[in-house]
Chain A
Amino acid sequence: MQKGRVIRWLKKEGDSIEKDNPLLEVEADKVTTEVESPVSGVLLKICVPEDTEVAVGQPIAFIGKIGEPLPSINVAAEGKATPEVETTSTGSREGPRTVEEEAEKVRASPLARALAKQHGLDLAQIRGTGPRGRITKEDILEFMELRMDTRAVKEIIPLKGIQKTIAGRMAESIRTAAHCSMTIEVDASRVIALRREVNAELQAKGEGGISFTDILVKAVATALTEDPILNSTLEGERLKVFRDVNIGIAVEVETEGASGLLVPVVREAHNKSLLQIAREARELIERARSGKVSHSDLSGGTFTITNLGMFGVQTFVPIINPPQTAILGVGAIIEKPAIVNGNIKPQPSLHLTLSFDHRVVNGARSARFMQRLKQILETEISEQT
């Protein structure tokens, strides 16, 4: 975490506050958290207005005794609420560190800095080969040579909020987990029939239907209850295997005009009926798409399902949603010729791809999980399971 957003102050300037009592709400990495006061005292000054992004380590408020002088420190004042205090009388800019200020912390020669400035390079992106990693002119020139890009740029889209979080988490996943994937083909006849039957009933009652994803949530929850090794998180050298199966469903959302990804969580899916799962999932997805999703909607996941079947994609290899151990990628159901007892007959075929962390579980055990999942979907799944 490098940045957070002050959502709401729970105390006003001048209010007394006890240690460990809630002081403000902060959003970081898509998650809103209440921050408790580290000390008892009076909230002397709020430095960061509500709905303002701040860098980690930047002072956001001062708590002390009444009348205690505040340290003379540049406090954050960026944000919609107080744009008029962007500069002080000395002309120095207040607020979160700029890219240039960030670059000041990087070890680089003055010439390297001048070159980076001239060419609009971010020194933090450049590997230094000088003493103790100092960035030299050579390093800048080499970087520019590698970066030499003659392709015409139509537009530059800076990554913001949720997108930045996703980018960071996906890269972290690839960096840390030992990704391994396997695909299994499932005869989807039973799944199709089940959905058709259930939806006919629901439609008659004027209720919303169930999706293939809902059926998969149910099937996966059942399989994970039988062998919970994939319902886990690796923490250092300890594997935490969870009792409850909380399944996240990857949902595409629009935020700030760009496409993003949220993973609302169906809690205790193993204790819920297919219809319960379907109802909850529908509400969660609705909340995610309309931006009303809560912190608890998004937290606590132990396994993730991502379905691209609606786009006609048959198979794809998903990236594990860290710190979970596995993710299931669901493809489209395609009618295909199958050989049954020597005869060719049409069969709806569904490809499921499991990406799992090979640090945690080996291939055979994962394969058994997939085999069991296939069995559930082809022969066992029903409205009552």
Chain B
Amino acid sequence: MPEQSKLDVVVIGAGIGGYVAAIRSAQLGKTAALIEKDRLGGTCLNWGCIPTKALLATADFIYAAKRSEELGVTLSDVTVDISRAMARKDAIVNRLTEGVRLLVKKNGIIFIEGKGTLLSRSQVGVQKPDGARETIEAGSIVIAAGSEEPKLSFVEVDEERILTSKGALTLTEVPKSFVVVGGGAVGIEFAMIFNALGAHVRLLESLPNLLHTLDADIGRTYQRVLKKKGVEVHLNTEVKAVKLRSDGKVGLKAVQRGSALDMDAEKVLVSGRRSPLITDLGLEKIGVQVKDGFVPVDAHQKTSVPNIYAVGDVTGGKMLAHVAMNQGVIAAENIAGLGSTFDPRTVPTCVYSQPEVASVGLSEDEAKEQGHEVAVGKTPLLASGRALTLDETEGLAKVVCDAETGEILGVHLVAPHATELIGEATLAMRMECTSEEIGALLHAHPTISEALMEAARAISKKAIHM
């Protein structure tokens, strides 16, 4: 263990951005400390990406069981044991956080449990759970404090009946009725989990489209997907109030296109944009600029104070685990003088519902707004042999290009394994391929990836199967 009094790097927050920054720093020969007030692994490992994906695997299994007869398999007595599903989820989370703990240890990083606060531009104070205080001195500081569940004005969350994603992950029973407020990635994933588990699910979205940050074709496709699965989707529906009622249910007051829409449910899940956890870090006191509740950074992840870096959710932008991880690497490399930069143009967004959604780059509308003359290639999954064999034909592949240069501006997928397939599109964009390269590349047959190839070929009117 390195001498604690004067370290190279101290990282506040041991989520995916923070622990990665610490490990990368150690790899680069730096002495590093990692401070965490809650659980190692942060939101992603404990209350986000990983546990939801564990439950979605259960949902996928249930969906498969439901159409087993069509595939020639008769299953009897398909019952769901939510406690087993939750226990499996917890085991996965524990295994992964233990893995991270070992990695941190192996890399010689000092792990400190406690709440970190900036005392000066080179000092971080830690308040430990037992009340003890410690001051750590370091040449560089990385703010990776993450974010918390969204704070919504119209609702008081009790995490028992009115839930955020955190509470929904600890339910021990499947509610009969479940209302999801917010049609983003979190809302859709939980709508799908509880739909598969057997709840009657209603999804309320204030905007005219689901997954509104993504291409409009994805939202339209997903509306159809959810409807087929039996989820009631209410678009243009603004929730005004969510209240616990005396009968034990949760009452919702909403407005849909000007008319009142009231409903009740056993459980309500509210989702929305998460809030960065920066208020009591002491940032402004030492001169780190804070804007609209976020810490602005440059492409090197530097804040307004040269030796203080910030990564992940605290920086705003896309609050995604892989963004935080990438930024953690970049911050560490810049501290070591390597001069890495974050490229916000090739950040994939994934939704792990069934079928999966994955998207990278600009939507068709964004591309037009930015002044591109746009060329679009689309393939419905109905045209894919692989989708037919999987019995999963709902979906599409869409490629948005600049008509003049062929530059790939965005790729949008609703398809089985879309979250894996988006890697091809992300690499293509990062390497500055044009639609010609994806279209000319041979793709294994039969695969879902052929749909991406065909969409790319459709840009230059060369699609074979359409």
Contacts and interface: CB of A to CB of B under 8 A. Distances in A.
The bracket for how many chain A residues form the interface is: under 10
Interface string B414-439: 00000000000000000111101100
Interface in A97-140: 109-112, 114-115, 118, 136-137
Contacts of B405: 111, 114-115, 118
B407 interface: yes
B404 A111 contact: no
Contacts of B431: 109-110
A324 to B, nearest CB: 43
Contacts of B433: 109-111
B406 interface: yes
Contacts of A111: 405-407, 432-434
Nearest to A131: B431
Interface string A170-188: 0000000000000000000
Contacts of B434: 110-111, 114
The bracket for how many chain B residues form the interface is: 10 to 19
Given A110-B433, A110-B434, A110-B436, A137 B407 contact: yes
A266 B318 CA distance: 75
Contacts of B407: 111, 114, 137
B408 to A, nearest CB: 8
Nearest to B431: A109
Contacts of A137: 407, 432
Contacts, number: 27
B330 to A, nearest CB: 15
B404 A109 contact: no
Contacts of A114: 405-407, 434, 436
A114 B407 CA distance: 9
A120 to B, nearest CB: 14
Nearest to A130: B432
A372 B436 CA distance: 71
A111 B436 CA distance: 10
A118 B432 contact: no
A137 B431 CA distance: 10
B404 A110 contact: no
B432 A112 contact: yes
A115 B404 CA distance: 9
A104 to B, nearest CB: 15
A118 B404 contact: yes
B164 to A, nearest CB: 41
A64 to B, nearest CB: 39
Nearest to A136: B432
A110 B431 CA distance: 8
A156 to B, nearest CB: 25
A115 B402 CA distance: 12
A118 B434 CA distance: 14
A7 B237 CA distance: 84
A271 B404 CA distance: 70
A114 B434 CA distance: 8
Interface in A168-227: none
B406 to A, nearest CB: 5
A114 B404 CA distance: 10
A137 B432 CA distance: 7
Interface in B269-299: none
A132 B436 CA distance: 24
Nearest to B428: A110
Contacts of A109: 431-433
Contacts of A115: 405
A19 to B, nearest CB: 47
- Most chain B beta-carbon neighbours within 10 Å: one of A109, A114, A118: A114
Contacts of B404: 118
A111 B406 CA distance: 7
A110 B407 CA distance: 9
B165 to A, nearest CB: 38
Nearest to B437: A110
Nearest to B430: A109
Interface in A66-123: 109-112, 114-115, 118
A89 to B, nearest CB: 24
- Most chain A beta-carbon neighbours within 10 Å: one of B431, B432, B434: B432
Contacts of A118: 404-405
B374 to A, nearest CB: 16
- Most chain B beta-carbon neighbours within 10 Å: one of A111, A114, A136: A111
B372 to A, nearest CB: 13
Nearest to B404: A118
Interface string B424-462: 000000011110110000000000000000000000000
Interface string B387-410: 000000000000000001111000
Contacts of B436: 110, 114
Nearest to A108: B432
A136 B434 CA distance: 12
Contacts of A136: 432
A114 B437 CA distance: 11
Contacts of B432: 109-112, 136-137
B254 to A, nearest CB: 46
Interface in B329-377: none
B16 to A, nearest CB: 25
B391 to A, nearest CB: 36
Nearest to B406: A114
A115 B405 CA distance: 6
A131 to B, nearest CB: 10
Nearest to A117: B405
A112 B432 CA distance: 8
A116 to B, nearest CB: 11
Nearest to A135: B432
Nearest to B402: A111
A108 to B, nearest CB: 9
Nearest to A111: B432
A36 B265 CA distance: 95
B102 to A, nearest CB: 32
A136 B345 CA distance: 14
A376 B161 CA distance: 109
Interface string B8-27: 00000000000000000000
A111 B433 CA distance: 6
A107 to B, nearest CB: 11
A366 B432 CA distance: 56
A211 B407 CA distance: 65
A121 to B, nearest CB: 13
- Most chain B beta-carbon neighbours within 10 Å: one of A109, A110, A115, A137: A110
A10 B434 CA distance: 51
B361 to A, nearest CB: 13
A136 to B, nearest CB: 6
A110 to B, nearest CB: 5
A110 B405 CA distance: 10
A35 B405 CA distance: 47
Nearest to B408: A111
Nearest to A138: B432
A110 B428 CA distance: 10
14 contacts: A109-B431, A109-B432, A109-B433, A110-B432, A110-B436, A111-B406, A111-B407, A111-B432, A111-B433, A114-B407, A114-B436, A118-B404, A118-B405, A137-B432
Interface of A: 109-112, 114-115, 118, 136-137
Question: What are the nearest 5 A-B pairs in CB distance?
Answer: A109-B432, A111-B432, A110-B433, A111-B407, A110-B437
Given A110-B434, A111-B405, A114-B407, 17 more contacts: A109-B431, A109-B432, A109-B433, A110-B431, A111-B406, A111-B407, A111-B432, A111-B433, A111-B434, A114-B405, A114-B434, A115-B405, A118-B404, A118-B405, A136-B432, A137-B407, A137-B432
